[in-house]
Chain A
C-alpha cells in the first residue's frame, strides 16, 4: 500500500515535471522530385495568452517541411510566396546554378510562383532553405521561415546509421526569440534591432522534449539563429560523435563532449542512449556561460540590443526522454568506425589566393556597419570574379581591427577549412563546410573548387556573407560570379519569338525565330504589372504550364541567355 502511494507520488511529481515541457515538432517529411512550398503567415501558441504571428511553409505553423532528395535526381521546386511582402528562398549548401540559388536577386513578389529546378549534385548531407531578401532577412528569419533538406546518396545508405526520420534520426533547428509583452509578437526588425532571443525554440517548440529510443540515435542539428552560438553538450557530459559537417559525412566519427555550432552551420551527431534506462531523461544543453566576449551570446547583459536572458548562461535546448528500443526498425547499437571517403582540397591545390577582410562595425554614432574590405553590399556590384574549375584559397581575416565574431557563409560550393591562425581547425569541422565561425583576431583559410556552374550573369551572382541576420542586412555581404571559357557567339541572335496556342488554357509553347536563342529567364505578369510566375531557365520545349493562372491577359517577358536582353509578348489565358 505504502509502495503504491509512493509510486503514485513519483508518477504525480514526474507529471508535474514533464508538464513544463512541450513535445517538440518534427517537421513533416516530403519525398519525391517535385516539391510544392507555400510560404505564408501563420500563428502559433508559443507563450501563454495571445498566439504569436509567425511565418511558415505548408502545414507547419513555424518553420517548414523537411525535403528528402536523392543525389542525381532532377528536382523541381514550386515556391509560392503567400506572404504579403516579397521574399527569396536560398538553398543553403546546395551546389546549383546561380540563377536557381535564391539569393537576394531572386526576389519573389507577394503572390508569385517561382519555379527553380536542378540536378542534385551534393553528396548525402543536411542542408536547409531560408529567406535571403536583402535588408529583410533578419525579420523573415525571425518569423520562422525555413526548413531542412536531407540529401541521400548510395554511400550514406550503405552505412549502418540511424535513418528513420523522427524516430532515431531527427532534425533539430535551434533558435531563440523574445516576445513583445502585450501582444506576444516576436521582437524583430523593423521595430527592434535585438538579436538574441530570451526564450529557446527547438524546431519552433518552447521548452522542447522528445522521446528517443534506447540505442544510438542521430541528430541533424542546425543553428537557425539570428546571431547566437550554441556550445552544445549533454547534461551528464557524455561523449557523443560528430559524423557529418555542413556538406556531408566525415571520414570517421569524431568524439566530443562539447560542440560549438554557429549560425547557418549544421552538424550531424550520433549519441548512444543504449546504456540509459527507459523512462530516464537527459538534456542536450548549450554550455554558453564563460565564453569569450566575441562568442555571440556570451555578452553579459540581459537587456538592450545585445542583451538576453539566455546570454552567458547554460540552458537546455532539448529534454530527451529515453524510450523503448525500436522494434519496427533494427536498432543501431554500434558506431561505425569509418564513414565515407572524402578527397579534400589542400592549400597546395589552390592556384588563386584571395583575402577577404572583415571591416568596420565599431560601435559608435558615426559607425559604418560591418562589411567586407570596407565595401558594403551593393546589388549591382560584383565583388569577385572566379574562373570555372579554379581551386581557390580564401583567407577570411577578422583582424582589421577585430570587433566581434562572425559566421561566414559561401554560396555555390562546399569547401575545406585548411587553417585557423589561432590554432588548427578542430577535428569536428574537418569535413566539407559552407559556413564557419571566425572569432575575434582570427584568420580562417579554406580551399574550394568552383566547378560545374559558370555563367557571367551579373544579374544572378552567388553570395558570400556573414550569416548573422543583422550583419548581412547591414551590408556584410559580397557577391561573385563564376565565368567559363566558352566562346562568345559573335552573331547577334534575333530574340524574337511568338507564343502558341494563343489564347491558351494549360500549356503555352514558344516559337523562337532564331533557333540559337537560349531562353534564360521567363517572367509572366498580369496586365497590371503584378508578377505571377518566375521561371529561371524554363524547360520550355515541353510547353510552359500556365494552368494555375486565372483567366486574363498576361505579358510574357523572355530574357535571352547570350545578351540578357528582354523581349516581351502578350498572351491570353482562357
Chain B
C-alpha cells in the first residue's frame, strides 16, 4: 500500500511538472505594425478587432517554393477571413542585401498573383526574428488569449508544394479547423521547407 502511495506521489509530481511544462511551452508573439504592399498602408494585428486568431505566412517574392502557394493562400484567406481568422503574409527577407524583395516588387507580386490578403514588409526583420521564422514559406497559427497571441501551430503549410492534388497532410488548415471547433491542435509543429531567411547581422554572409 505504502508502495502504491509512493507511486501516486511520483505520478502527481510528474503530472504537475508536465502541466507546468505545457504552460512554459506556450509561445507568445507580440503585435507589429508593418507596411502593407496590398493596400500601401500600415497594418497591425490590432486593426482586426474581431479576429479570433490569425494565419501568418512568412513568404517572399522569388523563392520557388513560396511561389507554389499563392493560389492556395488566396483560397485559405477567402475561407477563413469570414470566420474571424484573417491570413497575413509577411516578407522578412533582407531587402538591403537583396533587391528582388523590395516593396515595389512585393506590390508587383500582389498584382500578378492577385493576392487577396495583406502582404507586409518586415523591413527591419524584427517580426521574423520574433516568430523565429527560418524559411519561406513558413506558416503560423496564432490565437488570441487575454489580448495576447499564442502560437498554436508552426511549420509548413502542407506537405506537397508542387502538387496540391497529392497533399497528404493539410497541417495549417487542419490546425485552424481544430481551433475553430474548440479543440487542441493535434499536430502543433511540422518541419518547414523552402528558402532560408538570412537575418542581417546574425549570419555574416551578406557581405
Q: Interface residues, chain A, CB within 8 Å of chain B?
A: 40-43, 45, 49-51, 53, 82, 84-86, 107, 109-111, 133, 136, 180, 182-185, 526, 528-532, 550
A17–B59 CA distance with the chains assembled, in angstroms: 41
Is the beta-carbon distance between A51 and B99 smaller than 8 angstroms? no
A53–B101 CA distance with the chains assembled, in angstroms: 19
The proximity string for B residues 139-171 relative to A, scoring 1 for CB distances below 8 Å and 0 otherwise, is: 000000000000000001001111100101000
Is the beta-carbon distance between B191 and A84 smaller than 8 angstroms? no
Residue of B nearest to A109 (CB): B207
A45–B162 CA distance with the chains assembled, in angstroms: 9
On chain A, the residues within 8 Å of B68 by CB distance are 43
Tell me whether B194 is interfacial, beta carbon within 8 Å: yes
Excluding A82-B100, A180-B191, A530-B98, 5 further A-B contacts by CB distance (< 8 Å) are A82-B62, A84-B196, A86-B205, A107-B207, A111-B98
Q: Interface residues, chain B, CB within 8 Å of chain A?
A: 60, 62-65, 68, 93-94, 96-101, 156, 159-163, 166, 168, 190-196, 198, 205-207
Is the beta-carbon distance between A49 and B207 smaller than 8 angstroms? no
Residue of A nearest to B93 (CB): A84
Residue of B nearest to A45 (CB): B162
State how many angstroms separate the Cβ of B63 from the closest Cβ of chain A: 6
Name the one of A49, A109, A183 contacting B97, with C-beta atoms under 8 angstroms: A109
19 A-B residue pairs with CB within 8 Å: A40-B62, A42-B64, A43-B65, A43-B68, A43-B162, A49-B160, A50-B161, A51-B161, A51-B162, A85-B206, A86-B207, A110-B97, A110-B98, A110-B206, A133-B205, A183-B156, A185-B191, A530-B99, A531-B207
Is the beta-carbon distance between B162 and A85 smaller than 8 angstroms? no
Is the beta-carbon distance between A86 and B206 smaller than 8 angstroms? yes
On chain B, the residues within 8 Å of A51 by CB distance are 161-163
- Return the 5 tightest CB-CB contacts between A and B, nearest first: A183-B193, A51-B162, A110-B98, A185-B193, A43-B64
State how many angstroms separate the Cβ of A142 from the closest Cβ of chain B: 13
Is the beta-carbon distance between A183 and B191 smaller than 8 angstroms? yes
A184–B190 CA distance with the chains assembled, in angstroms: 13
Given A45-B162, A110-B206: A53 touches B97 (CB 8 Å cut-off): no
State how many angstroms separate the Cβ of B197 from the closest Cβ of chain A: 8
Is the beta-carbon distance between B191 and A182 smaller than 8 angstroms? yes
Residue of A nearest to B162 (CB): A51
A110–B96 CA distance with the chains assembled, in angstroms: 10
State how many angstroms separate the Cβ of A131 from the closest Cβ of chain B: 12
Is the beta-carbon distance between B98 and A50 smaller than 8 angstroms? no
Is the beta-carbon distance between B159 and A50 smaller than 8 angstroms? yes
Name the one of A43, A86, A110 contacting B161, with C-beta atoms under 8 angstroms: A43
A528–B163 CA distance with the chains assembled, in angstroms: 40
Residue of A nearest to B156 (CB): A183
On chain A, the residues within 8 Å of B161 by CB distance are 43, 50-51
State how many angstroms separate the Cβ of A527 from the closest Cβ of chain B: 11
On chain B, the residues within 8 Å of A550 by CB distance are 99
Is the beta-carbon distance between B195 and A41 smaller than 8 angstroms? yes
On chain A, the residues within 8 Å of B168 by CB distance are 49
State how many angstroms separate the Cβ of A41 from the closest Cβ of chain B: 5
